[in-house]
Amino acid sequence: MPKEDTQALHFIEKYPQYDGRGVVVAVFDTGVDPGAAGLSRTSDGKVKVIDIVDCSGSGDVDTSFVVEAKEGAIEGLTGRKLVLGKWDNPSGRYHLGVKRAYEIQPRGLTPRIKKERKDTFDPKQRDAVNKILREISELKADSPLKKDLEARLEVLQSLSFEDPGPIYDVVVFQDSNGVWRAVVDTKETGDLRDSIPLADYHLEHQYSTFSEQDMLNYAINIYNDGNLCCICTDAGAHGTHVAGIVAGYFPDQPELNGIAPGAQIISVKIGDTRLGSMETGPSLVRALIAAERAKCDLINMSYGEPTSKPDYGRFAQLASQFVAKYNIIFVGSAGNNGPCLSTVGAPGGTTSNLIGVGAMVSPDMMKIEYSLREYSKNTTQFTWSSRGPTDDGYLGVSINAPGGAFAPVPNWTLKKNQQMNGTSMSSPNACGNIALILSGLKSLGLKYTPHSIKRVLENTASVNPDLDHFSQGQGSLQVLSAFEYAKKFSEESELRIDLTVNGDRGIYMRHFNDVTSVKEFTVNVQPYLHDSLKNEQKLKIEKRLLIKPTQRWISAPEYLFLPFEERQFKIAVDPTSLPEGAHYGEVLLIDSSLPESGPIARLSVTVIKPITTEGPTLNFDKLKYSPGLLRRFFISTPNGADWARVRIRCANVAPRRLFVYQRVVPAPLESLKKTMDEQYFWLEGSDEKLDTFEVYSGQTFEIVLAQYWSAIGEEGEFSLEVDFHGITVKERGSGLIGPGECWVGQIGFPLRAEKASPKAILAVIKKKLFPISSTTVPLHPTRDCLPDGRQIYSCVNSYQFSISEAATVLTRVNGFDKYLYDSPHEAQFWMIYDENKQLLFSGDFCPEAVSLSKKGKYTVRVLFRHDNLDVLKQLKTFPLLLEKHLPKDKQITLPVFNSLPEALVNGTKFSARPKAYSKGQTDVVVVGPPPESKLPKDIEAGDTLEGYLLFRIPNEGENVPDSVPKKGLDRPIGGVLISYIHTVAPSPPRKGTSQSYTLEESKSPQENFTDSLQQHAADYITFLVSKKKLDHAKVILEQSLAEYPKYLPLLKAALGFRMKEAETAKTYKPELSNQVIAAADAILGEISADELAKFFGLNHESSENNELKKHEKLRDILTKALVAKAEAYLQIYLNTKSEESKLAFLHNMDEVSKWHKNLSSLSEISQNSLVHYEKIKGNLGGALKLMKKKLEAANDKDVSKEFIELCKEAGWDHWVENKLAWNIINFPSNFAPF
């Protein structure tokens, strides 16, 4: 554990009693394992982890189903009988829930458990297969059993093992003291007599372990009067490692101690297990609430994401409020997105009220922790450590700290400790050091505020002359110096001064037009006092400040008088004489009465002097590299360029070395997710690398090529070539294509001669879905209510869509899908469920496409949260955008023409061969609509087909993906997006239809009239049945049968009515089955089966075509009657087990088989009947084959149960257990909670 670089070791030696005692640190992370090494006790014997909270919701279990015990047992939601222990439960009422282990296991654990469970399953499967093979081998070749056994073997070997994982019953009850407790059936036996009921962790500090196999520890929290139980596990090893760095304590191995072994920890899980371990809006806000509720002194958050706007959004606003109002010091990682500038992440590197920490690596770390055989003698920055400033000029990195450590990890990893590196490690190192300072200050009764501690750290940090401020901030944290400073100047802790320029927290002159002349800026000076101080304190504020620029190219006045009000002063920045590259300075405000205390406010000033070029190409040659050396290239994009190609070459490079190539091309309101790209690659000999990316005319972008900090070697030379290209596109009209319409545009080549080959593809169907329901409710008053009493509400919108075949889809909440920390809303979290309410996929602000393997109807539920009901009210009708990604073979290539007249006649198209254009030349491009025959079959009016029109020629060897990216289409480099809006022509007016009648010459007019009446009655009854108007149909049927009792079409309609009547009955009624049988017998009485058989036993000439059709029709009616009769008898048998009905079922199925040898091809006969036919005949193998096919076609609970019963009969207990578990997962009673 690196301690000397920050003076932590010397601090503990000098002040052993200030080792973090009395300090509580909230660890916002993946969760902390309370059973991990070093995390059981503090140095003074207290419990180390004093609370465990899962803020993500991923551990939540719906326990709203309540039962009462009978004879000391209840039936769990898994179906298991649960034998209860002798627990203190005066009410006798138990809340039940069920949870799948893989929903709460960290992703790092699940693969191991799955492998071990499969290793247990496979021998059972081999034994079952070998048993059948032995049975077959013992039979004679003509044995009738052989075919059945072979069918069983075929099914057994075709079953694909998917591990459902353990599935736990959860039992919650309230004891006589009013404490809610929970028991989890981790053994899956139902025997809970020896289980210890757990209370909320903070009450008794109890936790348990699921099994010796997984070694996963868990704690419990119970909400909503027992209706919601949260099983708290960690989502990864990260949080435990962070906690160990902050405060791990090893009494027998003090060298393994964390920085502040006396501090106590609160585990605050913000990483959602459903998303791997990604933080979400709800988890972040709940985490703040939990930290304040526990009266934490410090928060460490080694988490973060890029943001489109720094120091903005719901979380940044709330975090700043919590820091200011509740005196909580918030430490955050700056990010691991370096080495380019402006790569700091939110919230640690972008939020003013947080302390952002960069990551350094010292010679001792290189030597001992990383075991390098050659290493630098100087401390350096980890290559990947994020750099400032933010887009609004704020430095971002406050201080530096060691960015690597060996520290404890959860027991489920089967390791005591592990090495990790990142600003995730430097942040808790800094946080632990701050805990030492607070421990001392609190013991001495000295005042401090979060801002004063940040100023203490920055003013005492050790500046590394080999590193820039963008990397190290104000320098390396020095805890001993900081503590002595804090003691000396504790009375100066109350005042905070914010400096802004036009609302920005610094000055950032980045683009060429910014640095061509001297610029003047007005600096706003705003004093603040901590929220806890009274107004009378403001009367005492009267500061005489010195204004000190740190660079000669910054001019400022010398003095500023500051009462408790906003003031202003002007500064000038002269970048004209600065060389190319990045330059940093500050404007410092210093209290003239205490100049030795250092700055009380800083304004960062960053100037980027870019490289400019008149031509399209830049070359940088003969570059030398050594370990950790990085070279920055700030380049101003020439006018007319919209993409660039970078080529990296090396010569005589040995040994093979790891390099980092990174570029940042800033774009308005876009985060680094969109504007940054990086590659790690090995270079040796004369290797070459290529990159193509989008640029913006007149804007400055940055390229960094760095030798990785630990890569050994200095031999060889490198060159970097930047080649600019540009194609201007001017659209004429809306840019949308519709039926019969064309996209028309003019392309130009302002920068250089180019080759282009227009190619237009439509690849995505987009449709808007509107909510089918929306529910807004207040959330739990403990974890979803802000300390000032503001209640947080949830708004859940439900949407539905259907697919006709397997598809890849992406659901997007437009306007929300790019924002997390920079979102003004608290959350958007979506879940996709199938028709059975099984949760298939979850996602948040960064949606990706998912594969839906089966056709059918799906439900998407989207959660929005806020404490302002007016905000949520606006979202109740908010549409969801559904994108269906077309596979490569179904994407639509559009015709591209060089003029509109050619397009109108489908004439000459652009050649597939690239066309050469000279500089300044223009051309017309016309894209025609897709042929109607090529449109997807499930596209509907109002849907949009989206794709791209690409002009540029891809680089040789460039990987151009065939499929749509998981995150959806983006504007292609050297091209534009195009859309086709599908419309449908109005249907022509419907003409009146007339009933077709048959006129037989051999019959009298009265007989033909009677036939038409009979036929009309039959048709009308069939129509009523199809509309489910059974009461109406019954009346007409009885009247018609009374008049025409032997008319075959009418008898057929009567059978259809009776079948529908039985089918729609909620429960089995024997009289309905008997009525079906009677209706079938009425048909069979009117058809001579013998004559029909005799007819089909002869060959018939084509001249007898009409006669053949007549008899085929009779055969179809006969078949329908026999099938209906068989299925009616089957229903009687299944409900009564009557031998007579079983034999009747077999007889009628045998009769059907006389007319149709392949029963499975008959649409009239159900799979259920076929299965039972095989089963009753003793063909268990045939029944299994049919039922498996039925199950694959429809994921139905009843079908699954029947398949399980067949597996029981076959003796396949391992598959019975597997399928029963999947039934619990596949057919939940309710939607999974958010």
Strands 567-573 and 554-555: antiparallel
Catalytic residue among 29, 311, 844, 867: 29
Nearest to 401 by CA among 370, 371, 365: 365
Is 238 in the active site?
yes
Which pLDDT score is estimated for 299? 99
The dihedral through the CA atoms of 134, 135, 136, 142 has a sign that is: positive
CB atoms inside a 10 Å sphere around CB 84 = 20
Top CATH class of 617-725 equals: mainly beta
Classified by CATH at the fold level, domain 771-878 comes out as Jelly Rolls (2.60.120)
Strands 736-737 and 676-685: unpaired
- What CATH architecture applies to the domain 730-765+890-982? Sandwich (2.60)
Catalytic residue among 385, 424, 671, 1040: 424
Task: Report CA 1061 to chain centroid distance, whole Å.
Answer: 46
Taking a C-beta distance cutoff of 8 angstroms, is the pair 721, 692 a contact? Answer: no
Whether 730-765+890-982 shares its CATH topology with 1066-1227 is answered no
> CA-CA distance, 987 to 964, in Å (whole number)?
34
Nearest to 752 by CA among 722, 728, 730, 725: 725
DSSP 393-450: S-----EEEE-EEEEE--GGGT-SEEEEESHHHHHHHHHHHHHHHHHHHHHHT----H
Strand arrangement of the beta sheet that strand 653-664 belongs to: 630-636, 700-707, 653-664, 676-685
Q: What is the pLDDT of residues 57-81, one digit of tens each?
A: 999 999 999 999 999 999 999 999 9
- Residues sharing a CB contact under 8 Å with residue 320, sequence separation 6 or more, in sequence order: 351, 352, 353
Taking a C-beta distance cutoff of 8 angstroms, is the pair 827, 803 a contact? Answer: no
DSSP 1072-1109: HHHHHHHHHHHHHTTS-HHHHHHHHTS---GGGHHHHH
The dihedral through the CA atoms of 311, 316, 318, 320 has a sign that is: negative
Q: What residue ranges of the chain have pLDDT lower than 70?
A: 533, 733-735, 956-962, 987-1003, 1007, 1098-1104
Angle between helices 1030-1043 and 1048-1064 (to 10 degrees): 150
> CA-CA distance, 52 to 198, in Å (whole number)?
13
Which pLDDT score is estimated for 944? 94
Q: What is the pLDDT of residues 1100-1126, one digit of tens each?
A: 555 457 777 888 888 888 889 888 898
Which pLDDT score is estimated for 995? 53
Catalytic residue among 51, 185, 234, 238: 238
- What CATH architecture applies to the domain 1066-1227? Alpha Horseshoe (1.25)
SS3 481: helix
Predicted model pTM: 0.91
> CA-CA distance, 336 to 345, in Å (whole number)?
8
Share of the chain residues as helix, strand and coil, in percent rounded to the nearest 5: 30, 30, 40
Which pLDDT score is estimated for 992? 46
Strands 24-29 and 754-756: unpaired
Which pLDDT score is estimated for 867? 95
Segments making up each domain of the chain, as ranges: 4-53+235-488, 617-725, 730-765+890-982, 771-878, 1004-1064, 1066-1227
Which pLDDT score is estimated for 1087? 86
Residue range 4-53+235-488, CATH number: 3.40.50.200
Is 29 in the active site?
yes
Nearest to 523 by CA among 601, 419, 420, 461: 601
